[in-house]
Amino acid sequence: MDRNLRKVRQGMVFSDAMEKTITVTVESRKRHPIYNKILTKTTKLKAHDENNEAEKGDFVEIMETRPLSATKRWRLVRIIKKKK
């Protein structure tokens, strides 16, 4: 897969309890077609963190990759903002 075609998401690290794996919560917002209310959907994605550098509460960018395990299809690209 071409790197330009891979999906990129930004989200908050929800959990870093696993070895070389982080759980990232990604929020997406959509407007309801009839009622025009903005709805927020939260999705949890597991991402590969090779160096265990991300911590719980960090804002990170993840990129789609080949399947690394049964549930892991994303990898950490960079840490945008460290938690305080």
> pTM value?
0.86
In terms of Cα–Cα distance, which of 75, 53, 72 is closest to 63?
A: 75
**Angstrom distance (rounded) from CA 31 to CA 74:** 27
User: CA dist 43 to 2, 14, 23, 59, 70, Å?
Assistant: 25, 11, 10, 15, 17
* Beta strand extents in the chain (DSSP E only): 8-15, 21-31, 38-48, 59-64, 72-81
How do residues 5-29 score in pLDDT, each as one tens digit?
899 999 999 999 999 999 999 999 9
CATH of the domain at 7: 2.40.50.140
How do residues 50-69 score in pLDDT, each as one tens digit?
999 999 999 999 999 999 99
Total structural domains in the chain?
Answer: 1
Q: Which range of residues forms the domain containing residue 17?
A: 3-81
